[in-house]
Amino acid sequence: MKTENRPLARRRMPDNLLLPLGDGAVFLVFTIVGLMSHKDSFTPYHILRTFIPLALSWYLVAVILDTYGKGGAVRVAANWLLGVVAGVAVRTWWVGSPNGRDLWVFLTVALVTNGAFLVVWRLAASRLLARR
């Protein structure tokens, strides 16, 4: 077995799980706030039908862009834009709605809200990680 392949595989995994766990929490908070604001059913299905597409899209884009390995504001911003757009697209395909104008409204709200949540979270995380 070659040992030079190990560092490449290790680089893909985040050394610290704080950032990916917090990023996932951002999508869970977005999902819960959305369900509450629409007075929607609060069932596991209703939570997961938004959370799963957003989180999986985010992490898939993060692997492709190496967001957790290389980091940086530009890489995180690209991850946000691509991940949220992909997540909304997958959710719309899965659920069947929203459509038409409502899809553009939902996409805008998802981008702005998740962007704001991610900025707040990432700023807090940078302070936490700086203390270590």
| Residue 19 in this model has a pLDDT that exceeds 60 | yes
pLDDT of residue 41: 80
**What span, in angstroms and rounded, lies between the C-alpha atoms of 65 and 130?**
23
Choice between 44 and 86, residue whose per-residue pLDDT is larger? 86
Q: 12 falls in which pLDDT band (50, 70, 90)?
A: very low
pLDDT of residue 5: 53
Choice between 39 and 62, residue whose per-residue pLDDT is larger? 62
The mean pLDDT of the chain is: 88
pLDDT of residue 54: 96
The burial of 8, by beta-carbon neighbours within 10 Å (0-12 exposed, 13-18 middle, 19 or more buried), is given as: exposed
Output the CA torsion sign for 18, 24, 27, 28: negative
Residue reference for tokens 């819960």 = 32
Beta-carbon contacts of residue 97 (< 8 Å; ≥ 6 apart)? none
pLDDT digits (tens, 9 = 90+) for 102-130: 999 999 999 999 999 999 999 999 898 88
pLDDT of residue 40: 78
